[in-house]
Each structure stands twice: as C-alpha cells, then as structure tokens.
Structure 1
C-alpha cells in the first residue's frame, strides 16, 4: 500500500503517518497539492489521505484529466458535517475525523487493500478455469484471459495476482480501449517534461508504476499495431523508454492481458501482431459466458441482492425461487455486469422483502419480456407468416439503419453509459464511439450519459 498524505492534517500528520506505517503502508508526505501531483506522476500511489483544507476537487480533477485513478479519503479536525459533505462531493471516498483513530485508519486501509472485485464462483465450468489459474499463478508466465465482455476477466486477473508471489506488490490495470490512441503510449510508458504539448512535468507510465507487481492490459486487441511493436520490445527487453526520454528504464513485472475478440482472426486481418500474441499467450484462461454458469448466476444474485440492499440502506432482500428460475433461464448477453444492474434495479423496485419474477424489469420500469418468458423469440417455433410484428417490420430496411436503431436503443437502455452499451452490443467502446460520431454528424440525437428514457406517450 503506497499512501501519500497531502497537507498538515491539522497538526496530526505524525500520528496518522505512524498508524498507517503500523498497518504496513509505505507513507510519503506532500505538503501541498502540487507536490502531491508530482509524487503521483513520478511514483504512483494506491491511496491519498488529503487534509480537508486542501483543494480536494482540484487535485482529483487534475488526476482524472491525466487518466490517473487513485482513491482519496479526506481528513479534518473534529466531526464537522459540512466539511465532510463537501469533501465527499469533491470526490473523496471517506471522511476521517482527527485526531486519528487507529482502528478507523486501519479499517480504511484494509478496505482499500481488499479488492472491491470480489471473486464469486460456484459453477463447475468456472471451477476448472480457477483450478488452472491457481496452478500457474506462482509462475512468471504471461497470461491471456479471454471471454465475452462482462464475464469477469479483470476479476480473474486480480485473483491470479493475489495468488502469485507478487501479491504484496502493485496491481495496475489499464483499459487500452478507454484511453485515446494518441495518449496510450504516454500512459503506458510515461513521458518526460516537454515531450509533447501538454507534458508539463515528467510522469512515469503504468509499466514503471507496476514495477515489482502485475500489469493488466485490458482489451489489448484495441491497441494500435504500431504501439504493439513497442510493447513487444518492452516485453522482450524488460525495459521501457519514456516518450521524449534519452535512456531506458529497467522493469520487473508480471504481464496479464485480456480480450473479448478472437486474436487469431485479428492476426489474419492484420490488426494484431502474431509475435506479440505468442509472447502474451503463454497460458490462456478462457472464461465461459454467464449463461453457461447457472450456479454462478444463483450465487451472484444472492450476493448482489445483499450488497445493494446494504448500499441503499434497505432491509435485506431475498431472491425467490420463481425469480431465480427466470434469471437462470436468461441468456445474459451483458454477462455479470448486466446481471448486477438487473439485481440492483430489482432491489430498488421491490416493495417487500422478496424479489419476485415481476421485479425483474428494464431500466424504464417495463417488464423484461425475454426474462419473464425464460426464453427469447428466436428459441420458439412459429408458423410461417405469423412472425412477430417487430421482425416483420425489419423487412425493407437496410442493415445500417437497423444497426443504428439497435445501438441508439441500447444506449437509451443503458441511460447513455457507453461502456455498458458496448458490452451488451458485443463491440469495443472505440467502435461504439466511432459509430456514434457518425450518427451525430448526420444529425441523429444520441443520448448522453445519465439521459433518462423518454416516457411513452
């Protein structure tokens, strides 16, 4: 645990530092926000403990603009509710009153250290994959984790890290699809001050930040071929060259990559380097889709029902047998993410203590017909000439027009959340963005993040 304490903490700096050290944290002090930024750029951090008198929002906004995701807790003398509320609104995850309480500090550090990504599995299909993961976790071999979007590839990567000899070191995840192509090189390998417009200070990349630990390259299939060549050299030489730098920096990492695409096909298409695939795919862990893991559906439903009842300060919710049957029968194209959102919604909408089949609904409150029926229209045999109206209405329309409606409707379903929509559609977030840009240039009204569904008139 790398902890940076920002500010004086109302004169309680020494006490808070000692408590953190006693709990195994490596502590660095930054007297102000600018020093904290410099330290994070050069050394990285797992947690920020920020004096409530500092500009918490400004610091976290600057980190976000540089694609640095570091959780923060705010600290202030006494239990000032106004300061606590302001700190949470500014982006802090917790507010810790000072003088520091050893048990409270320890609990916060433990909560940050223990992964939020709980690994829950009960199904035999998943157990076989976990058994293989446990066998190779202690090795230094690179691992390729494959599977549909939302199946839990990052959770599996964290499991491998926690079972490895590097478990006490950093686990750094980079989503290759979420970072603009022109910034990904700097994000991975770092840059020197003045290397390009906007490079106001030296910043280490994710490879250096993960030194000694594990680096996860999520959705690696979305990486540009030219950058793949530089990645291959880093893997071979175990050293990185910062953008604008004059010398190589040695690194010691375990590399894990994930993809939801067939990389053999990508190699044939010329969008992925075969030599890089050989380097990364020493061990392959293929995660089955959720629909093939009925016992995992059962366990995850119970887990999410408990979690979101607690999260929303609601009484415990029980998933009834009837509700469980329809949940298990659903195909779950969005896999675990879709299931999680569905149960969260059910927890909020059910009036009693039991989640019934009727509580499984879409975001706009309509019954989810495919779940309610336990099967899709495509699974049912219908006499010729009696196709559903929706299918008949597609005749005469172009594929591009139907695709556009499907994408826009899915985006509305996800309240404008691009990542969730891309997962359900089975395409990369970059592909989704490109299509949405085309639609917007044609004057199509594209839902923005958080856009509520339009009511039926």
Structure 2
C-alpha cells in the first residue's frame, strides 16, 4: 500500500502518517500539490491524502487532466465542517477529521488496499480453476484469464497477485477497452515532457508503476494490433520506451491479461497477434459463467447480502426460501456482476426479517421472470442425471457408446469422428473392428447404425 501525503507534516499529519505506517503503508510526503504531482508522475501511489488547506479541486483536476486515477481523500481539523463539504464537492472520495482516529485511518487504508469484491466460491467448477491459479501464483509466468463479462476475471487476477511472491508490491490494472488507442501507449509506457500536446511533464506509465509487482491488462483483446507489437517487445525484453523518450527503461513485473473474447478466434480474424497470444498464454485460466457453476449462486448471494447490509447501515438478513429459489432459477446472463446488483437492490427493498422473493427485482423494479426451474438448476439436474446414468457401467461400455454415438453423428465418417473424439484414425478403426468382431453394429460411411440396419 503506497500512501502519498500532500501537506506539511506537523502535528496531526505526523500522527496520521505514523498510524498509516503502523498499518503497513509505505508513506511518501510532499509539501505542495505540484510536488505531489511530481511524485505521482515518477513513482505512482495507491492513495493520496491531502490537507484541506491546499487546493483539493486543483489536485483532482490535475489528476483528471493527466489521466492519473489514484483516489484522493482529504483531511483537516474535525471542527471545520465547511472545508470537509468543499473537499467532497471538489472530488475527494472521503474526508478524515484530524486529530486522526486509528480505526478510521485503518478503514480507509483497508478499503483501498483490499479488494472490495471478495473472492467467494464453492462450486467444483470454480474449485478447479482456483486450484490451478494458486498452483501457478508463485511463479512469474504470464497468465491469461478468459470468461464472459461479469464472471470475476479481475477478482481472480487479484487473487493470483495476493498469492504470489509479489503480493507486497503494487498491483496495477489497465482497462484497455476504456482508454482511446491514441492514449493507451502513453498510459502503458509513460511519456516525456513535450512528447505530445498536453504532456506538461515526464510521467511514468503503468509498466514502471507496476515494476516489482503485477500488471493486469484488462480486456487486452481491445488493444490496437499496432500497439500489440510494442507490448510484445516489452514482455519479451522487459524494457519499454516512453513516448518521446530516447532511452529504453528496464522493468521487472509479472503480467496478467483478461479477455471476454476467444483470442484464438481473434488471431484467425487478424485482430490479435499470434506471437503475443503465445507470450501471454503460458497459463490459461477459464472462468466458467455463473450458469455453469450453480453451487456458487447462493454462496455469492449471501456474501453480497451481508456486504450491502453493512454498507447501508441495515441489519444482516438471510434470504427466504422463495428468494433462494429465485436465485437458483435465474439464468444470470450478466453473471456475478448482475447477481451482485440484484442483491444490492434486494437489501434496500426488503422490509421484513428476511430478504424475501418480493425484494428480488430487476433494475426497473419488475419481479424477476424465472420459471420453477431456471437455467442453472436445469444444468445441475442434467449433470446429475448424466452421472446417475453412468453408475454401474464399466469404462469400456461408456467408451463404446461414446464412439458409436459420435460415429452416428458423423454419418459414418471415420476421419471426422476421430477428430471429434480426439483420437487417431488408426485407434478408431481398431476399436470399431473390435466391436464388429463382437457382433455390434457399426455405422458405415453415409449411414447411421439405424440406416445401416435397414439398408
């Protein structure tokens, strides 16, 4: 946790600084706003605390102009209510009264340092992903995390960072889809003063800011293919070139990337470099959509109910049986993000001792349309039915039926069937010869077994 304090360190600010350091924060101090901006340009920070006697509005405006997304909290004497209101109106996220309260300092630091979206899972499908993530977390290997929008890709990336040897170093995230192509290069690699209009001073990019820690390239599939070549060089050689700079800069960091698209398909389309995909895809973590991990739904629902009850000063209430039924019966096309928003509304709308089905509503206030058995529940039931159908059968019997059904699907085409099954054509032919020798009907080319039986 890197804390920058802007203001003269005397009296109460010294106490606040010591409290932050006792909580594990690395504190840097600057007397004035311009000095603070220089620190942010050169080293970055996770949080800025500024004395309200300085220009909070000027700092917030300067950060916005230079696209520095570090959150700002203001601090001042507890009796100065007018300054506190002005600071919030100027863009500060929070106001800390001085003399500082240790618990308040701790809460602000933890809110920034900790990921507010806790990593919660229970379903076996997620267990497999998390186990692999934790296996590779201690390495410096690049990791590609894929999955539909809202499945929790950034949350998993933070989990990998937290389990890595770089956990005490910065975790820096860049949303490649949210930054225009013309600005993304400067955002990643930094720039020198005068490199382009608006470059008022040298500024380090996200690669340098994350040096020693982890850089997350969120939605990397949205990056322009020309910039991908520069990114590939940075990943291979661990050096970057600031925009307008003449000297390469060495960096030491671990790169994670996320995408909600199939990058192999993007390679075929020509919108993503194949060599960059290989560089990123040392380990691939695929996050299943919520409908494929029904065991997570109620666990996540209970977590979000507790989280938003606490955030809104409301009592922690359990979900009623009807609310739980609706949770499981809803397909959640927006995945965990949609579930979270739904529970936030439910916490606010519920009026009884439980969060009942009436509180589970759409953003427009309509009741969720879910049948008695929703997509997630149907998927769970179907999986259970398949499992029950396998009990009591030998592996050879299951393999035989799979091969013969696949051959039927391919109308007897051995080559296509072998590709689908992931076996060689020779292995397939040997299996089919065994079945024919045992008196079992096998589909001929252009036929299914049923058609072959009737000529």
TM-score, scaled relative to structure 1: 0.79
Partner of 1:312: 312
Partner of 1:222: 222
Distance change (3 Å), C-alpha of 1:301 and 1:231: same
Distance change (3 Å), C-alpha of 1:360 and 1:103: closer
* Aligned counterparts, 1:1-400, within 5 A: 1-8=1-8, 11-369=11-369, 371=370, 374-375=373-374
Asked if 2 retains the 8 angstrom alpha-carbon contact of 1:9 and 1:50, the reply is no
Distance change (3 Å), C-alpha of 1:198 and 1:302: same
1: CA distance between counterparts of 2:299 and 2:66? 38
Partner of 2:390: none
User: Comparing 358-367 with 319-328, which one deviates more in the overlay?
Assistant: 358-367
Distance change (3 Å), C-alpha of 1:61 and 1:338: farther
Q: CA deviation at 1:88?
A: 3.0
Distance change (3 Å), C-alpha of 1:86 and 1:352: farther
User: Comparing 356-365 with 282-291, which one deviates more in the overlay?
Assistant: 356-365
Distance change (3 Å), C-alpha of 1:256 and 1:58: same
Q: CA deviation at 1:372?
A: 5.8
1: CA distance between counterparts of 2:110 and 2:355? 32
2: CA distance between counterparts of 1:350 and 1:22? 40
- The number of residue pairs the alignment matches comes to 376
2: CA distance between counterparts of 1:24 and 1:263? 39
Asked if 1 retains the 8 angstrom alpha-carbon contact of 2:157 and 2:256, the reply is yes
Distance change (3 Å), C-alpha of 1:261 and 1:373: same
Asked if 2 retains the 8 angstrom alpha-carbon contact of 1:176 and 1:222, the reply is yes
Q: CA deviation at 1:81?
A: 3.1
User: Comparing 166-175 with 289-298, which one deviates more in the overlay?
Assistant: 289-298
Q: CA deviation at 1:352?
A: 1.7
Partner of 2:396: none
1: CA distance between counterparts of 2:30 and 2:311? 33
Q: CA deviation at 1:12?
A: 3.0
Structure 1 unaligned regions, length at least 5: 380-457
Report the secondary structure of 2:54's partner residue: coil
1: CA distance between counterparts of 2:295 and 2:123? 5
1: CA distance between counterparts of 2:371 and 2:361? 9
Report the secondary structure of 2:305's partner residue: helix
Q: Could you give the per-residue CA deviations for residues 160-205 of structure 1, whole angstroms, max 9, x where no partner exists?
A: 0000000000000000000011100000000000001111111100
Structure with bigger gyration radius: 2
Q: CA deviation at 1:375?
A: 4.2
Structure 2 unaligned regions, length at least 5: 379-455
Over the residues paired in the alignment, what is the CA RMSD in angstroms?
Answer: 1.8
